[in-house]
Amino acid sequence: MKVVAPGIQKNVRLSEREAELLRALRYDLDATDGEVIALALEQQALMRLKYHVAMLKRGRLGLIDDAEAAPSRAPIEPLLAALNCGRQRFSVKEGILHTRGDDGNWARGGSQSSANSAITARAFELVNEMALPNVTVSVILLACCETPEGRRCAGLGIPIEALTSRLRETLAAQRADPTPASRGFTWAAKSVFVEGCKGIKALDGVPHVGVEHILVAALQSEDPEVVQIRRELDINADRVRALLWAGTVQ
């Protein structure tokens, strides 16, 4: 069954669920149907703009193929034009999204991406597959290395295959009871996600936390296991971070 929501053009039809969402948001925001729809459209447009800017950045870093990044070029200009009709102002300068606040000052944009959720989910899968007691920095690092984005970080001077193999060896030695009591995050593992977010806000300015940012944050961890593996594989985490931030891929 289709229903026509009040205040919407007759040729725009909503399902019952969509109409119910509209009513719930209208109640929550104390707004009209039009105001709710306008807000939802603006938020969606901003989210897509951040996504496209991040995709182009990843393309320049060589973390995704040109063919994968190319579709993100065309939508940026119309999205910027539409968003700039409102009170806020947005601009993309040198591949970085900037927002002008009420004080008239421009600031780099920043938002969390789905990378955190994807890596978290994979980390828990690894814990279950390998019967590990909890999610450590090594588990997060392995989860990153096994993604397509993580494998492309070989262009930053990271020996991904050797790193993946060494991490699996290290974690295999930690196999616990098949049903360990605790399978949560260690404090150090939680810190990796925090440092990944801090990094893009303070240095990179990319409005999208990617797998590569989490991977570099994990590599820089002072977790004893990671420190030992860095030494064995002669990985200079600071140099890797500098290359990523600078957008340089070897």
pLDDT the model gives residue 204? 44
**pLDDT tens digit sequence for 89-101:** 778 776 667 676 5
In the 3-class helix/strand/coil scheme, how is 197-250 assigned residue by residue? HHHHHHHHCCCCCCHHHHHHHHHCCCCHHHHHHHHHHCCCHHHHHHHHHHCCCC
> What mean pLDDT value characterizes the chain?
77
**pLDDT tens digit sequence for 103-159:** 455 545 544 456 777 788 888 888 888 888 888 999 999 999 998 888 888 888 899
Which residues in the chain are classed under CATH 1.10.1780.10?
Answer: 115-246
Q: Calculate mean pLDDT across residues 233-250.
A: 76
For residues 99 and 88, the answer to whether their CB atoms sit within 8 Å is yes
CATH of domain 115-246: 1.10.1780.10
Percent of the chain having pLDDT more than 70?
74
Q: By CB neighbour count within 10 A (0-12 exposed, 13-18 middle, 19+ buried), where does 15 fall? A: exposed
